[in-house]
Amino acid sequence: MVHVYEFMWRVLHVLLHIHRTLITLFRIRLRNWNGQLWSRAIAALLVPIALSFPKQKKLVPAPGKRVGRRYRWGADGKSLEKLPDHIGLLIAEEEPRYTDIANLVVWCMAVGISYISVYDNHGVFRRNNSRLMEEILKQQQELLGLEGSKQHSVEFLSNGTDKQDHQVLSCQSVVKVLSPDDGKLRIVQAAQELCRAVEQMEKTAKDINVTVLDSLLRESKTTPDPDLVLKFGPVESTLGFLPWHIRLTEFISLPSHVDVSYEDLFSALQHYASCEQRLGK
């Protein structure tokens, strides 16, 4: 009997994987075939299947050229009820595509988000920090043009410059690259610092509370906690992303960052704008 259950389990999982693959295939096809009628027909077919996994965002085809819509981005941002102050881009996939990440960062900037963090759980972006920065600057030129790039300036934060208070001017964005070391390891380092202070009789154990720990873990007094994290990839987990900072963060999952479109990003932002936070009340 056990073998029968095992067999049925395997069948179930094979079917689920086929379903996932089909969804990905159709998604890529939809992108390439701009035919409205065809995409609507496929969407109608996929909707009942897609409903099986409501957590996956709806897959919107990307009509039109990206560059031509740049003037709408700022207006789009202002049209939303609320915009996150700090957005996190969590890449939970094996191979990061720098161009796509750069596009996402530039769109976030254009829409008016002040703080943008990019994270992957292998620390790839941290190791290739300069490559990502170059890519972002390049895409900024391409997507926003020369005028737009002057209007929207971007500042890159690396570990050395953390403690300064940043005055974020309007139309200026701060981009930070994160890795798992910024998560639990950072908390442990803060704990060691506090324990050393206790060892040297500068503090007592009773002095340690949430506020003290928070001030040590805060990038600077002005950097807010992430309001929204967009997770790209099939893995349903935070994968070590800033455990301390994500207590009130909304998590929105998108299937993949590969060939992601502005519409995908904007629909996620619209979803965020409709979330109601009761803060315990």
235 binds other proteins (CB under 8 A): yes
Using only C-alpha atoms, the chain has a radius of gyration, in whole angstroms, of 21
- Min dist CB 254 to other proteins, Å, is 13
Task: Indicate which single residue of 82, 162, 191, 202 sits in contact with other proteins (rule: CB under 8 A).
Answer: 191
Angle between helices 262-273 and 70-79 (to 10 degrees): 10
Identify which of residues 41 and 191 has a Cβ nearer to other proteins in the complex: 191
Structure tokens that stand for 259 in this block: 């060939």
Identify which of residues 235 and 258 has a Cβ nearer to other proteins in the complex: 235
Task: Indicate which single residue of 246, 258, 263, 273 sits in contact with other proteins (rule: CB under 8 A).
Answer: 246
184 binds other proteins (CB under 8 A): yes
Q: How far apart are CA 99 and CA 102, in angstroms?
A: 5
Structure tokens that stand for 224 in this block: 């807010």
Q: List Cβ<8 Å contacts ≥24 apart for 136-142.
A: 136/101, 136/102, 136/105, 136/106, 136/175, 138/102, 139/99, 139/102, 139/103, 139/105, 139/106, 140/102, 140/106, 140/109, 142/67
Task: Indicate which single residue of 15, 45, 67, 169 sits in contact with other proteins (rule: CB under 8 A).
Answer: 15
237 binds other proteins (CB under 8 A): yes
25 binds other proteins (CB under 8 A): no
45 binds other proteins (CB under 8 A): no
Task: Indicate which single residue of 16, 47, 75, 169 sits in contact with other proteins (rule: CB under 8 A).
Answer: 16
234 binds other proteins (CB under 8 A): yes
Q: By the 8 A CB rule, do 216 and 190 touch?
A: yes
43 binds other proteins (CB under 8 A): no
DSSP secondary structure, 74-143, as one string: HHHHHHSS---SEEEEEE-SSS--HHHHHHHHHHHHHHT-SEEEEEETT-HHHHTHHHHHHHHHHHHHHH
Task: Indicate which single residue of 251, 258, 259, 263 sits in contact with other proteins (rule: CB under 8 A).
Answer: 251
- Min dist CB 83 to other proteins, Å, is 17
Identity of the residue numbered 65:
K
178 binds other proteins (CB under 8 A): no
CA-CA-CA-CA dihedral for 34, 21, 257, 129, to nearest 10: -140
Identify which of residues 63 and 243 has a Cβ nearer to other proteins in the complex: 243
Segment contacting other proteins by CB under 8 A, of 38-46, 80-88, 109-117, 202-210: 202-210
Provide the H-helix boundaries in 164-208: 184-199
Q: Which of residues 130-149 bind other proteins (CB under 8 A)?
A: none
The neighbour count for residue 138, using CB atoms within 10 Å, is 14
Q: Which of residues 74-133 bind other proteins (CB under 8 A)?
A: 121-122
Interface with other proteins (CB under 8 A): 2, 5-6, 8-16, 18-19, 51-52, 54-55, 121-122, 180, 183-185, 187-188, 190-192, 194-196, 198-199, 203-206, 208-210, 212-214, 234-241, 243-244, 246-252, 275, 277, 279-281
